[in-house]
Amino acid sequence: MTDVATDVGTEQEAFDALIAADQRVEPRDWMPDDYRKTLTRQISQHAHSEIIGMQPEGNWISRAPSLKRKAILMAKVQDEAGHGLYLYSAAETLGTPRHVLNEQLLNGRAKYSSIFNYPCRTWADVGAVGWLVDGAAIANQVPLCRCSYGPYGRAMVRVCKEESFHQRQGWEILYTLSHGTPEQKKMAQDAVDRMYAPALMMFGPPDDQSSNSDKSMAWKIKRFSNDELRQRFVDMIVPQAEALGLTLPDPDLKWNEERQHYDFGELDWDEFWKVVKGGGPLNVQRLNRRIEAHREGAWVREAAAAYAAKHTETVPNLIGA
Ligand code: FAQ
């Protein structure tokens, strides 16, 4: 007869050895319940962020200042939808079906990135989203390409490639504006002034308030702490801001020769937690729009389900693939 305790011990040991050897955990491998739970949490929140994150820029597709800008923005917003789909698929490999994850978003129980609860007021904001928000997303996600869970790490490789194009297009919008008329430059500066602190908050709370980091880093889901990544991002954007001819709105921002990093001012963490808990400027509007879009898409889901049911018998791999 099998000794269950010994079996669990063996499985745990095999899992620990895999993590220690920097190898990948795959969907069919045994994994601790907590590992599965924290990955499902992070990946689904990430997926929700991509989907809700389509709204601020999506709003500007019909208002983009030229056909070329419109085409570029449309492609970018569409990419974010694609990222959401890869991520829901990665989350599903952990055992929670997508409709359950979606319900958690629609009933307001699931989190998504705080940044998307801020408004995108001007065309310059679209540039600032690309430069700062996609820039922060890249800084956060490049290390996730080495995440210990295979499907998440592999999804991140493709996502990061696309995010690099997104960041570049945002930078180019801001560069054009900051080298345009005085009004355009002012608009670019105003966008950066409003978007800078919320972008820095995307990396999560300070390490001493981050409840998940220790475990996630031990499991090699996260490779760096929230504060480490935030510092990397600040170091990266200071010279970029100089090249843009724009200033970052932080009087405490200065190079620290000893640390070989930029020092920067304390962020308003009360504001961060308020936004995370649903009290940001646009939390209600963003969620309501998603609920409405989901309702409007009911006929598409019904048609897809009917098509799948009809073709399952004749083309079985269509569903299973
Ligand atoms: N907003 O213990 P930690 C993008 C929550 S994608 C809201 O430090 P963790 C692309 C956190 O969930 C942007 N909630 O958490 C794009 C936890 O609550 P819980 C999304 C936040 O997971 C661009 C609690 O606070 N990227 O932008 C935030 O170890 C343009 C304690 O925090 C990802 O999701 C926040 N900012 O570290 C799309 C990347 N921060 O769950 C469209 C993957 C923390 O215990 C347009 N995720 N919380 O109830 C991660 O790397 C991590 O999950 C962190 C947070 C770093 C976000």
Q: What count of other Cβ atoms lies within 10 Å of the Cβ of residue 122?
A: 17
Give the pLDDT band of residue 316 (cuts 50, 70, 90): low
- The residue whose C-alpha atom lies closest to atom 11 belonging to ligand 1 is 204
Which residues is 256 bridged to in the sheet? 261
Sign of CA dihedral 294, 299, 304, 309: positive
Query: Once rounded to an integer, what is the mean pLDDT over residues 232-253?
Result: 98
- Of 111, 134, 138, give the one whose Cα is nearest residue 275: 111
pLDDT at 319 > cutoff 50 = no
pLDDT at 180 > cutoff 80 = yes
Q: What is the pLDDT of residues 50-84, one digit of tens each?
A: 999 999 999 999 999 999 999 999 999 999 999 99
Q: Given this model, what pLDDT does residue 176 score? A: 98
- Of 162, 153, 105, 150, give the one whose Cα is nearest residue 287: 105
pLDDT at 241 > cutoff 50 = yes
Give the pLDDT band of residue 8 (cuts 50, 70, 90): low
- The residue whose C-alpha atom lies closest to atom 43 belonging to ligand 1 is 46
- The residue whose C-alpha atom lies closest to atom 41 belonging to ligand 1 is 41
- 55 in ligand 1 pocket by Cβ < 6 Å? no
Q: Given this model, what pLDDT does residue 237 score? A: 98
Task: Name the token pair of 252.
Answer: 């405490």
Distance, in Å, from the CA atom of 284 to the CA atom of 29, rounded to the nearest integer, reads 39
Stated pTM of the model: 0.94
Q: How far is CA 208 from CA 102, 115, 195, 204, 227, in A?
A: 30, 21, 24, 11, 9
Looking from the CA of residue 50, the nearest atom of ligand 1 is: 38
Please report how many Cα atoms fall inside a 13 Å half-sphere around the Cα of residue 270, on the Cβ side: 0
| Single-letter amino acid, residue 24 | R
pLDDT at 3 > cutoff 50 = no
Give the pLDDT band of residue 236 (cuts 50, 70, 90): very high
Q: Given this model, what pLDDT does residue 313 score? A: 63
Query: Once rounded to an integer, what is the mean pLDDT over residues 22-44?
Result: 97
Q: Which string of DSSP letters, residue by residue, matches 77-129? A: HHHHHHHHHHHHHHHHTTT--HHHHHHHHHTT-S---GGGGS---SHHHHHHI
- Dihedral of CA atoms 41, 47, 48, 49 in degrees, nearest 10, equals 110
In the chain, count of helices (H) and strands (E)? Answer: 15, 2
- 134 in ligand 1 pocket by Cβ < 6 Å? yes
Mean pLDDT, rounded, of the chain: 94
Q: Given this model, what pLDDT does residue 78 score? A: 97
For residue 112, how far is its CA from the centre of ligand 1 (angstroms)? 7
Distance, in Å, from the CA atom of 39 to the CA atom of 159, rounded to the nearest integer, reads 17
For residue 121, how far is its CA from the centre of ligand 1 (angstroms)? 23
Task: Name the token pair of 142.
Answer: 């490049």
**Whether 45 contacts 91, CB under 8 Å:** no
Q: Given this model, what pLDDT does residue 266 score? A: 97
- Of 42, 43, 39, 18, give the one whose Cα is nearest residue 30: 18
> Cα 72–73–79 angle (5° rounding)?
95
Q: Given this model, what pLDDT does residue 312 score? A: 74
- Going by the DSSP 8-state scheme, the letter that residue 258 receives in this structure is T
pLDDT at 4 > cutoff 50 = no
pLDDT at 12 > cutoff 80 = yes
Give the pLDDT band of residue 318 (cuts 50, 70, 90): very low
The set of residues, in sequence order, having a beta carbon less than 8 Å from that of 190 and lying 6+ positions away, is 122, 124
pLDDT at 281 > cutoff 60 = yes
pLDDT at 253 > cutoff 80 = yes
For residue 293, how far is its CA from the centre of ligand 1 (angstroms)? 23
Residue that the structure tokens 């963490």 belong to: 269
- State the distance between the two ends of the chain, measured CA to CA, in whole angstroms: 37
